[in-house]
Amino acid sequence: MTDILIVGAGPAGLTAALYACRAGKSVLVLEKETFGGQITHSPKVENYPGIAQMSGTLFADQLLEQALAQGAEVEMETVTAVRRDGDTFVVQTEGEPYRAKAVVLATGSHHRQLGLEGENELVGEGVSYCAVCDGAFYQGKNVAVIGGGNTALQEAVLLSESCAHVTLVQNLPVFTGEEKLLEILRARDNVSFITGTVVKALRGGDQLRSIVLESDGETTDFPVDGIFVAIGQEPENEPFRDLVPLTEQGYFDVDESCVTDMPGVFVAGDCRRKGVRQITTATADGAAAAIAACRYIDSI
């Protein structure tokens, strides 16, 4: 039996593994897709303290190596359920079940995509899902923010501070985010608004040059240096709904202690309710969850 089983090998899960191994616990990390998590989609990370610039893949590779060097075991498995069985947990996967004394859920989330042809290939080449992460690459340039809720409006506020022009493109006839944010944006002369319009296509080969907009059956080609897609995030917490309560948006309803009401279950990273979803906050959670899990095991 493993001391601590970690679901998800993103920055949060791998940091939890690192801390738990260094505290002398046996650790198994199960990952369903990509070791390293979301950050592997980022060609350039420039806001992790102490690292001036690094690709997301290299960051993920180094974190994985660091966790393995400390003794963590990793397996490619999709976790489908976790249930308590006496003092321990049974972790169901599509293969064999595993047993652990404590579980850290570090399942992350992913940005909803437009679902357009070429979208994945253009990530980092004009298509972004995070103004905090990538806004600095578009200083003095013309960008569009796709979406109309609070996240889209917040991204537009941030981008309008450094970009030449920001155009908000919303599919609905109105913006659904807070009026206060709209007021800030309306007062800026480098921000414009387009409603009732959908993005139908991305153009530009290996670098985004323009987007095709459709409104009332008419299409137009709209030149941009970059787009920021802000149409929501999708956490991956459904399989654990019975173990830890979820917010309306599907995040684990747990604060920065990373401790849940179920003794022995901890959460870490983008999968939980929080204001800032970044590598810094994910790794901070990983450390907090691992230390709390070690204390729990020492107390049973």
Mind giving me the DSSP string for the chain? Answer: -EEEEEE--SHHHHHHHHHHHHTT--EEEEESS-TTGGGGG-S-B--STT-S-B-HHHHHHHHHHHHHHTT-EEEE--EEEEEEETTEEEEEESSS-EEEEEEEE---EEEPP---TTHHHHBTTTEES-HHHHGGGGTTSEEEEE--SHHHHHHHHHHHTTSSEEEEE-SSSS--S-HHHHHHHHT-TTEEEE-S-EEEEEESTTS--EEEEEETTEEEEEE-SEEEE-S-EEE--GGGTTTS-B-TTS-B---TT-B-SSTTEEE-STTBS-S--SHHHHHHHHHHHHHHHHHHHHH-
Is 12 or 102 the residue whose CB approaches ligand FAD more closely?
A: 12
> Nearest approach, Cβ of 271 to ligand FAD (angstroms)?
6
Residue 207 has a CB neighbour count (10 Å cut-off) of 10
Is 6 or 213 the residue whose CB approaches ligand FAD more closely?
A: 6
Pairing of strands 109-111, 233-235: antiparallel
> Nearest approach, Cβ of 296 to ligand FAD (angstroms)?
20
To the query of whether residue 130 is one of the catalytic residues in this protein, the response is yes
> Nearest approach, Cβ of 106 to ligand FAD (angstroms)?
5
> Nearest approach, Cβ of 125 to ligand FAD (angstroms)?
11
Is 160 or 278 the residue whose CB approaches ligand FAD more closely?
A: 278
Is 55 or 192 the residue whose CB approaches ligand FAD more closely?
A: 55
State the Rg of the chain over Cα.
Answer: 21
Q: Which of 21, 61, 87, 134 is catalytic?
A: 134
Q: How far apart are CA 222 and CA 239, in angstroms?
A: 41
Q: Which of 21, 85, 87, 130 is catalytic?
A: 130
> Nearest approach, Cβ of 46 to ligand FAD (angstroms)?
7
Is 108 or 264 the residue whose CB approaches ligand FAD more closely?
A: 108
To the query of whether residue 253 is one of the catalytic residues in this protein, the response is no
Q: Which of 21, 133, 163, 271 is catalytic?
A: 133
Is 99 or 186 the residue whose CB approaches ligand FAD more closely?
A: 99
> Nearest approach, Cβ of 73 to ligand FAD (angstroms)?
14
Residues near 61 by Cβ (< 8 Å), separated by ≥ 6? 36
To the query of whether residue 134 is one of the catalytic residues in this protein, the response is yes
Q: Which residues bind ligand FAD (CB under 6 A)?
A: 7-13, 30-34, 37-39, 41-42, 45, 47-48, 78-79, 106-109, 111, 123, 129-130, 133, 236, 239, 269-271, 277-280, 282
Catalytic residues: 130, 133-134
